[in-house]
Amino acid sequence: MTRLRMVCGYLVLLMVISQVAAFTGMPRMARVSLVVYGGGKTAAEAPKTQKAIFRELRGKLNEAASKDGFFDTNEKEALEVELFCKAAKDGNQIGDCPFAQFIQMVMLRKGLAYTVRPTLSDAKPDFVSQLPTLRYKGEVLTDSLAIAEFLEKTFPHNTLTRQGAFSYQEVLEKTAGFFPAMSAWIKNKDEGTEAGLQAAFEAQLDLMDEIVRSTPGQYICGIETTLADLYLAPQFFHGMAALEHFKDFQFYHIDGMPTRPALENYIGRLFDMEEFNNKKAYYSVDQVISGWKTARGD
């Protein structure tokens, strides 16, 4: 199991690092050497823990993402699909919105050409009432799940709504308390309520672990990827980054034995998805922490 966790920890970063390599010119062999030994470490990595290696490699991507042009694309197709989403502080790069990332993952899975419009809250176009907003052929939609379902109906290829052991709607209903519980605990500064909020969040993790264990496939509804998987992946990323930073709490273990093996293996598969690691939808760990600092009033 320890060896499996080492492999999963590296695979989480494989697709991410490929984006850095394309942008920064990192040699290809520097990337593939992470996994050619079946999860073993190179001589240079031997003194380091998997957690340290994870942070180091994520740091390289964070640095690359801070440079102008990282999110630029060469797409020439003028499809009338525009996503207006939270911008970073500079107004040029995308910000740390898990719901906008979810919508991008849906469009990437469907292979759609689309334009991202990073938008500052005080510079929204008149037709944008909230972020994220999707505009397609003059139609304007808000609410990330409503947008995803619209995309599924409008572009039905590469469907993300096939039912497995559960439908995506059932899973999203069962797991609706995850993000609110996570948000409440991250933002909490009252020691008197800390234990209760942590327990409420861990109860949500236990629930999802039970759901994953009850399905026959690798994903939360079953064999195939659905909207539920793409919806949860960015939320897990936020939780992994923010809870470790603010609460010194880990629910996805890069090192050591997992607390909830089924759930953590599932999270590893989500983090390894090509869509999750696509540079067009990526924002850095630093942005996640900065966003939650604002939410906490720090």
**Average pLDDT of the segment spanning 30-40:** 34
Which of the four pLDDT bands, split at 50, 70 and 90, describes residue 47? low
The fold adopted by the segment(s) 168-296 is: Glutathione S-transferase Yfyf (Class Pi); Chain A, domain 2 (1.20.1050)
Give pLDDT, residue 296. Answer: 96
Least confident of 39-43, 48-52, 113-117, 239-243: 39-43
230 has a pLDDT exceeding 90: yes
pLDDT, one tens digit per residue, over 77-117 is 445 899 999 999 888 889 999 999 999 999 999 999 999 99
Cis amide bond preceding 132, omega within 30: yes
Give pLDDT, residue 79. Answer: 58
* DSSP states of the chain: -HHHHHHHHHHHHHHHHHHHHHHH---HHHHHTTTTTTTPPPTTTTTS-HHHHHHHHHHHHHHHHTSTTTT--------SEEEEEEB-TTSSSB---HHHHHHHHHHHHTT---EEEEE-GGG--TT--SSSEEEETTEEEESHHHHHHHHHHHS-SS-S---SSS-HHHHHHHTTTHHHHHHHHHH---HHHHHHHHHHHHHHHHHHHHHHHTSSSSSSSSSS--HHHHHHHHHHHHHHHHHHHHH---SS-SSS--SSHHHHHHHHHHHT-HHHH-TTT---HHHHHHHHHHHHT-
| Higher per-residue pLDDT: 12 or 215 | 215
Percentage of the chain beyond pLDDT 90 is: 65
Average pLDDT, the chain: 83
Where do you find CATH 3.40.30.10 in the chain? 81-154
Give pLDDT, residue 36. Answer: 30
Least confident of 149-153, 193-197, 236-240, 277-281: 277-281
Give pLDDT, residue 70. Answer: 60
pLDDT, one tens digit per residue, over 237-294 is 999 999 999 999 999 987 778 899 999 999 999 999 999 999 899 899 999 999 999 9
| Higher per-residue pLDDT: 209 or 40 | 209
Q: Which residue has the tokens 């109860």?
A: 203
> Domain 81-154 class?
alpha beta
Give pLDDT, residue 10. Answer: 46
Give pLDDT, residue 44. Answer: 59
Least confident of 1-15, 127-141, 245-259: 1-15
| Higher per-residue pLDDT: 44 or 262 | 262
Give pLDDT, residue 80. Answer: 84
**Average pLDDT of the segment spanning 62-70:** 64
Where do you find CATH 1.20.1050.10 in the chain? 168-296
Give pLDDT, residue 138. Answer: 87
Give pLDDT, residue 89. Answer: 87
